[in-house]
Amino acid sequence: MSKKEFMSGDEAFAFGVKLAKPEVIAAYPITPQTIVVERLSDYVADGDLDSQYIHVESEHSAIMAALGSSAMGARTFTATSSQGLLYMAEGLPYVSGSRFPVVMMNANRATAVPWSIYNDHNDSMMFLNSGWIQVYVEDAQEALDMAIQAFRLAEDPRVMTPVMVNLDGFVLTHTYELVEIPDQELVDRFLPPYQTEHKMSLDAPKSVCIGVGPEYHMEFRYRQHHDFDHFPDVIREIDSEYREKFGRGYGVLSEQYRCEDAEAVLMTVGSITGSVREVVDDLRAEGIRVGVMKLRYLRPFPTEDILSLPESVKAIGVLDKNLSYGYEGTVYTNVNSALSRGNRRIPTKDYICGLGGRNISKENIRQIYLELLNPAAIQEGEKVSFVNLHLDQEVDKNG
Amino acid sequence: MLDIRWYGRGGQGAFTAARLLGRAASVYEGKYAMAYPSFGPERRGAPVWSFTRIDDRKVIDRAQPEKCDCLIVLDETLVTEKVNEVLKPESVVIMNTVKPEKYGFIQNRLVTLDATGMALQFLGRPITNVAMLGALLGVTDIVTLDHADQVVKDNFPTKLYEKNSALLKAAYASVRGGSEE
């Protein structure tokens, strides 16, 4: 029987990984790492999880050890955060190009300098081009559920692509909530042991084709790219089966909340979605037609979902917890590209927020919606704005 | 929705208390709760703000609450007139102090107890978090004393549980006055 426990996002994710029974865990434990790997280390040491825990000397070694163990056909997990993820940079396309289904948990934190261990998305956004699937979760329950789904997705023979599951640093990783823990037997049935022909073997030796010349490279990239086209169908299939077995599902690449007949829609990524849902409810209660679209996956990107927004939508805002310096938030770039692909002309505005852990209040979100309800002004005005910026004021040290 | 805020210093267990209360409310009383510390590096002795939010429906708003319904002070050296800014008119302040007369500037209902003295008596150490949890329940009935005792039992090894359980009940009784069962 499933049971309920009061857990942090870290603990929930670690428990999800335990239920998924990885055969190898490779991680480096120093800041900005989270206690996900600490809990897993405990599980292995206590005999609750039969896994080889490789205590490596850096994040670069962690991803390379993960590459090696996945190449041997072992279910493999690693976790990191912020600068640690940046230190893994070289290994990320090695794993994705080799099509090894490593699962990684990343605690989203700001990047240096100024150095900060507080939350934003500048770390993972740097790696949208790394060939990894990227998913962002909203709460501790979704964290646990996606820990399990991520292995199933990565290892699906139609996918064979590594998955990065992103949890907002502190806001999710350190916050305790009620979490339903699925039964191990059910998880075993949903996620059988990883089996693959795609591995190093003395009995059936094959090359991993680590280098090719110009005559093959581009065709390889073309296939890697177009394989992403059918990932949404696999994600849908996995989520439906998960819902059947465990009673919880999350939709596919995105989730629309009260977007039907909405005039203004805000796009969110990660844990901020909860507060935005509440503001939507408040405004709807006042008769103001607004909705929120939670972008769960950024690779593959929910282009079709965005294009399916109703005709009533007159303006779209994007909450970007990241910034491509000198241009705009990265989610904004992607949303505009999706709209352009579908030839939909809807005024959009980028709201850069939460950088380095800056608080975003429900009042801030309400003001954004009220602004979006004037589409002509959105059309004419500045496209990139900053939420809760205090350039000329004394900054409250508590954020 | 109830917002409970805990003021303490790293090592005093303010976050443990926030978490125990959230666990009692959610796992044992069928409500929903969220508990989190003030985010940042963890350092012994540094000020720690902790938060517990309790509601009948799932708590999904993660913005830092500006005000609280109950403010629980484990370490009175953190208290200045600024605390009034986080209080609503009906908020209650529960403070570990033997000098309540110093806090005339607090405009709200103030309940005080010598939690440090009690902790020294029951635990032999000035760790006041469980005492302050007991005091909170003595004042507010947010969760039952039995359920609080149960989460203390879940959280501590047997020997420590017994001492903390006695401390929890004594602190509860001390603010309850004659009205406890």
Task: Give me the pLDDT at residue B180, please.
Answer: 40
- Which pairs from A47-50 meet CB under 8 Å and 24+ separation? A48/A18, A49/A18, A49/A21, A50/A21
Q: How confident is the model at residue B98 (pLDDT cuts 50, 70, 90)?
A: very high
- List, for residues A13-36, the tens digit of each pLDDT value: 999 999 999 999 999 988 888 999
Indicate if the pLDDT at residue A336 is higher than 80. Answer: yes
B59: chain A residues, CB-CB within 8 Å:
177
Task: Give me the pLDDT at residue B105, please.
Answer: 97
CA distance A380 to chain B (A): 31
Cα–Cα distance for residue pair A323/A306, rounded to 1 Å: 21
Cross-chain Cβ contact A4/B27 below 8 Å? yes
A12: chain B residues, CB-CB within 8 Å:
none
Owning domain of residue B105: 2-175
All domains in chain A, ordered by first residue: 3-246 (3.40.50.970), 254-386 (3.40.50.920)
- List, for residues A61-112, the tens digit of each pLDDT value: 999 999 999 999 999 999 999 999 999 999 999 999 999 999 999 999 999 9
Task: Give me the pLDDT at residue A394, please.
Answer: 62
> What is the mean pLDDT of the segment spanning B75-95?
97
Enclosing H/E stretch for A246: helix A231-246
Q: Which residue has the higher pLDDT, A399 or A284?
A: A284
Cα–Cα distance for residue pair A170/A108, rounded to 1 Å: 9
Q: Is residue B139 part of a domain?
A: yes
Task: Give me the pLDDT at residue B181, please.
Answer: 39
> What is the mean pLDDT of the segment spanning A247-274?
97
- List, for residues B3-13, the tens digit of each pLDDT value: 999 999 998 99
Cross-chain Cβ contact A176/B40 below 8 Å? no
Q: Is residue B50 part of a domain?
A: yes
Q: Is residue B180 part of a domain?
A: no
Cα–Cα distance for residue pair A97/A228, rounded to 1 Å: 13
Cross-chain Cβ contact A274/B62 below 8 Å? yes
CATH of the domain at B109: 3.40.920.10
> What is the mean pLDDT of the segment spanning B79-88?
96
Q: Is residue B73 part of a domain?
A: yes
Cross-chain Cβ contact A275/B62 below 8 Å? yes
Q: How confident is the model at residue A396 (pLDDT cuts 50, 70, 90)?
A: low
Q: The dihedral of CA A257, A317, A239, A340: what is its sign?
A: positive
Q: Is residue B81 part of a domain?
A: yes
Check CB contact of A182 with chain B, cutoff 8 Å: no
> What is the mean pLDDT of the segment spanning A173-178?
97
Looking at the structure of chain B, the number of domains it has is 1
Task: Give me the pLDDT at residue A369, please.
Answer: 98
ipTM for the predicted complex comes to 0.95
Q: How confident is the model at residue A340 (pLDDT cuts 50, 70, 90)?
A: very high
Q: Is residue B127 part of a domain?
A: yes
Check CB contact of A180 with chain B, cutoff 8 Å: no
- List, for residues B111-170, the tens digit of each pLDDT value: 999 999 999 999 999 999 999 999 999 999 999 999 999 999 999 999 999 999 999 999
CA distance A251 to chain B (A): 18
> What is the mean pLDDT of the segment spanning A135-152?
98
Q: Is residue B181 part of a domain?
A: no
- List, for residues B15-71, the tens digit of each pLDDT value: 999 999 999 999 999 999 999 998 877 788 899 999 999 999 999 999 888 999 999
CA distance B125 to chain A (A): 27
User: Could you give the percent of chain A with pLDDT greater than 90?
Assistant: 93
User: Least CA distance to A364: which residue of chain B?
Assistant: B63
Q: Is residue B86 part of a domain?
A: yes
Indicate if the pLDDT at residue A339 is higher than 70. Answer: yes
